[in-house]
A and B are shown apart, each in its own frame.
Chain A
């Protein structure tokens, strides 16, 4: 299963590494984590769909790549 708590410290550090001058509000990192989970969810779903279409039982890198292309973020 998944963890119970979000790695807040890690998230803050990650954000700091990208944008050291940027600050984050109190509960902001939690929302960031939420957004991240949703993103992963989207990616997983898309990759899963691709794998199904490919009649594959496992998600392969190409499925993931295709999924990433679809998601507008990337």
Chain B
């Protein structure tokens, strides 16, 4: 096939040539293959030459043909076709045809005449032209001839090929030329700087390339296109067979592209062809520099798009877009461009975001450790700071409370104090108001009672506290105490000489039964007692009446005053009344002067105010009664009061009845020199305060109490008050009260008689009996002297404070003794723990931290024991084995 057009191309020319071609063809038909073609070609050439009109030309043409012939033969032979020899001959004819312009046409005509068919003829002519042009390098021919041939109907393909081939041969430099004979096609896409097949415009496809734009844009493109087409047409026969399909493919593609450009006209086909030629290879090869003039905007955009992705590494899809959107061209190109643009900005923010993200990430990563730590610190500190504190505080407090219980009972005492104090303070206000009222009434009584007054001011506060405490403590026991006191009073009354006491007792019971505001009553009683005290100092008989009076008045007062202190005052009043009665009874039995009787009621009723005022009164007493027998008594009374106070404290601390008995005995036994005991009192008081468990303070205090008991009734007042105030703090102090009552009873008895040993012994016996039978009642009188002790005890702040502490500490050591024994034995040595922890910590550790460590250790051991028990129980064993421990350690 190709040979045919080749031949046709080869034999374009005039009629002569035509004829010659016919001849050739005719001869060629006979001998199509082999040298026959050559001969035909030569014949044609020879004929063509004469056809040209000039024998010279013919000769020339023949010569050309001949020269061309071998090529044709080479080209045609591999693809022997029906018209190959003819074509070769025609080519031979066309070769010499200087009238190249015409010759191809003629040759095509000739070929057509030969019977190739117009298309084939034209193609052959094109081929001839191509070959011819190869030698002649005639651009014009390359451009025009193919066009002419196209008119003839030459296939565009071939025209292209021819044009491309010719173009290549004409324009391409040397190195490319010898490559071209195999075909311009393959060269196109192989070599970058080479010509590119452009889109065909009306059949002309030109391959244009960057270096040859200027020329290639116009004629070169055309020629290239034409040459290519021509060569493609003859490529099958002439140019390399391998290039054929490629060219065809290129051409086809070019054709397809050209199909979309109907607007392009021939005149402008040059440009279009060039552009087309450029576009075609765009797919295969990257476009050359954009040809502003010749390239269409589509092409330009394509190039831009193509180039863009190359520049921006972050838009790989852009290249794909470009390639796929060749057809849509502009809109697609715009899209791609926009895409690229969008992508670029997208990338930018992405970059920034990524960068920022990374930054943040890195920042986070960098500060994670720190942040975590800080967060752990801050969060639990801030958020759960309160909870931490609260929980920790609670835990600590709990632990402290539990852990330190065995160790520091004093702390418990301290802890308790504020609690009580707070509650008391509120009531203190109320009591203080009436206390002031009562002070005046008490002053005189206290003067009578107490001789030595040291520090009333300091004692007042303590006395208040004592009174307050006593009130609280007295509440639960008031009834019992009253009952006991009453019962105790009764035996005492039986012993007593006056039946008036019984009446008084009965009255007292009535009074005790009533819970009334006793402060006012006490106040009134105090006032009365004052007067009575004065009188009593003189007469004992009056004392009885006064007592009766007092009792009656107290009852009346109790009935009147109910609100006052209510809770606080009631116990006070109860005790006061009971103490009153007991005191009165005791006084009666001891046959003391009016002092006791006067003092007792005074002391009994307004305990708070009493303690408050006692000290003041004591001071006044000292001032007023400087010279009197009572001074000694007062001094003794003070000492006794102090002793009683201490003894009372001691007794309060120990709630065992046995202790009470023991104390009573001791009191009775050791009622000798009060002065001797006074120095002991201090030590005893302090010891009682500080010491928790040991019963030592008990005997000591008992001794002091007993020594105090020897004192006169003046002491009884304070002791009574003391006893009343102290037990109010703790419910456990009932026994203490009993003891105190018993002791005070003995004291009162002894003091009344102003006899030391005998009286105390007797009173002690009595008190013992009383305590045996009616411990509370026995105690009741004991309370009275003790409060008195509190007032002169101002010199010893520890003493007033001690009653609180020992009161609080007493039950604690009592209850915790056994627990202490239990816990203290197996308790891990704290020094040991400290040692280990210090070794592990390798840093100095604060003492407070050790407390926490100890607490942690205890918790740990508890957990440990629980876990081991669980493990053993799970295994059905009652003994913890090694396996359990191993399991524990594996956790």
Contact = CB atoms under 8 A, between A and B. Distances in A.
Interface string A1-13: 1110001001111
A47 B866 CA distance: 25
B839 A17 contact: no
A16 B879 CA distance: 12
B266 interface: no
A21 B861 CA distance: 16
Contact of B392 (A21, A63, A65): A65
Interface residues of B, number: 54
Contacts of A68: 852, 856
Interface in B808-837: 822-823, 825-829, 832-833, 835-837
Chain B interface SS verdict (over half): helix
Given A10-B826, A32-B885, A47 B849 contact: yes
Nearest to B844: A58
B860 interface: yes
B843 A23 contact: no
B358 interface: no
Contacts of B304: none
Contacts of B827: 10, 14
B833 A7 contact: no
Interface in A11-44: 11-19, 21-25, 27-28, 31-32, 34-41, 43-44
A15 B889 contact: no
Given A35-B889, A47-B841, A65-B392, A60 B849 contact: yes
B312 interface: no
A42 B856 CA distance: 12
B268 interface: no
Contact of A44 (B373, B840, B889): B840
A37 B836 contact: yes
Contact of B879 (A24, A41, A45, A61): A24
A40 B836 contact: yes
Given A18-B861, A25-B879, A35 B852 contact: no
Nearest to B840: A44
A10 B829 contact: yes
B861 A28 contact: no
Interface residues of A, number: 51
B341 interface: no
Contact of B882 (A19, A25, A41, A53): A25
B844 A31 contact: no
Interface in B843-891: 843-846, 848-849, 851-853, 856-857, 859-866, 868-869, 872, 878-882, 884-886, 888-889
A43 B843 contact: no
B888 A43 contact: no
A43 B869 contact: no
A17 B889 CA distance: 22
B841 A59 contact: yes
Interface of B: 373, 376-377, 380, 388, 392, 822-823, 825-829, 832-833, 835-837, 839-846, 848-849, 851-853, 856-857, 859-866, 868-869, 872, 878-882, 884-886, 888-889
Interface of A: 1-3, 7, 10-19, 21-25, 27-28, 31-32, 34-41, 43-45, 47-48, 51, 53, 57-61, 63-66, 68-69, 73-74
24 contacts: A7-B828, A10-B827, A14-B827, A15-B865, A17-B822, A17-B826, A22-B869, A22-B878, A25-B879, A25-B881, A28-B881, A32-B864, A39-B860, A40-B840, A43-B837, A43-B853, A48-B841, A53-B373, A58-B843, A58-B845, A61-B852, A68-B852, A73-B859, A74-B856
Given A18-B862, A19-B868, A61-B846, 4 more contacts: A31-B889, A44-B841, A45-B841, A57-B843
